[in-house]
Amino acid sequence: MKLDGFGLFVRDMAAMIRFYRDVLGFEIREDENTSNVFLEKDGTLFLLYGRDDFECMTARRFSYADGIHGHFEIALNAGSYAGVDREFARVTAMGAVPVMEPATEPWGQRTCYVADPEGNLIEIGSFEP
């Protein structure tokens, strides 16, 4: 099997579309007024599923974490250490929730974390000085 993409189960579709499209630069691939929206970033399919619609389709209820949570992360490469700092400042000014300020780790990566409107973690990092 080949990885085709990944998805998030979202409560507020409009807010999540705005964040991933307008703040992080994901491209929207279909009408954004649907219950499941396909976006793309650097050739990777990124799906936003409406929680209620997914539960209806699968005929079962799921539990979801509230607040900022650490179930997984989405990692974005900023291209350089300066790019990490620049992108952290830019996305937090546009509404991303700061979680960890940029820092250079002992393994040589400069990294930081923000959260989207529903608390999913996004890493912005680079191994290139």
Q: What is the pTM of this model?
A: 0.92
pLDDT in tens, 46-98: 999 999 999 999 999 999 999 999 889 999 999 999 999 999 999 999 999 99
CATH number belonging to the domain at 5-58, selected among 3.30.2090.10, 3.90.950.20, 2.60.40.420, 3.10.180.10: 3.10.180.10
- Calculate mean pLDDT across residues 28-34: 78
Which of the pair, 30 or 109, is modelled with greater confidence? Answer: 109
Question: How far out from the chain centre does Cα 14 lie?
Answer: 14
Instruction: Tell the CATH superfamily of the 73-126 domain.
Output: 2,3-Dihydroxybiphenyl 1,2-Dioxygenase, domain 1 (3.10.180.10)
User: Does residue 3 register a pLDDT over 90?
Assistant: no
Same topology between domain 5-58 and domain 73-126: yes
For residue 125, give the nearest of 116, 45, 108 by alpha carbon.
Answer: 108
Q: Quick one: pLDDT at residue 41?
A: 94
Do 19 and 122 touch, CB atoms closer than 8 A? Answer: no
Report the 10 Å Cβ neighbour count for 31: 8
The mean pLDDT value of the chain amounts to 94
Q: Quick one: pLDDT at residue 69?
A: 93
Joined together, the tokens standing for residue 118 give 């529903």
The burial class, CB within 10 Å (0-12 / 13-18 / 19+), for 128 is middle
Report the 10 Å Cβ neighbour count for 46: 21
- Map out the domains of the chain as residue ranges: 5-58, 73-126
- Going from the C-alpha of 83 to that of each of 28, 31, 76, 80, the distances in angstroms are 24, 31, 11, 5
pLDDT-derived band at 30, boundaries 50, 70, 90: confident
